[in-house]
Amino acid sequence: MPYSNNPMQLEPDPGDEETAAPAEAPAGPVASDDPDPAPAPAAPETPRQDVPGLEDRVIRALKSVYDPEIPVDIYELGLVYDLAVDEATRTVHVKMTLTSPACPVAGSLPGEVQQRVEGVAGVERAEVEIVWDPAWNPGMMSEAARLELGFF
């Protein structure tokens, strides 16, 4: 096997076709004569971190419902006491109250909440339970709601 004249080189002489190593494949895309090359295999799908979960989507729906007398949504007002999302049965249970038993939308607001929640992708059924204990008070509002209404 012929070697280079360089005593420091331990590799076979690159000019020797018998012992020359095969050329490495070029990096990057290679031009092909095939007009319709096979597509590269898809990378394994990883869950997207920016897609909200079902509970987050339900909260977003609740934040789209407003008490007509107050310019703040029912979630920020603190009217929603509990939210139970069962992803297995795709059922959502909303336990909420109203600002007062004499609230003018007492007959329609629970139905609107149910419709909005059932309109969320992934929800099959929504149940809305109106409770009066504990009684709602302005201290139940979020900081954002208090700012909006000038309670500071």
pLDDT, tens only, 84-93: 999 899 999 9
For the chain, first and last CA: distance in Å? 90
What's the CA gap between 138 and 151, in Å, rounded? Answer: 9
pTM comes to 0.65
pLDDT in tens, 10-27: 444 455 455 444 455 545
The residue type at 141: M
Tokens at 115, concatenated: 């419709």
Q: Where are the alpha helices (DSSP H) in 32-73?
A: 54-62
Crossing angle of helices 109-118 and 54-62, in 10° steps, is 150
- In the chain, what are the domains? 54-137 (3.30.300.130)
For residue 51, the Cα-to-chain-centroid distance in whole angstroms is 2
Share of the chain above pLDDT 90, in %: 59
Dihedral of CA 113/73/89/84: which sign?
negative
What's the CA gap between 136 and 110, in Å, rounded? Answer: 16
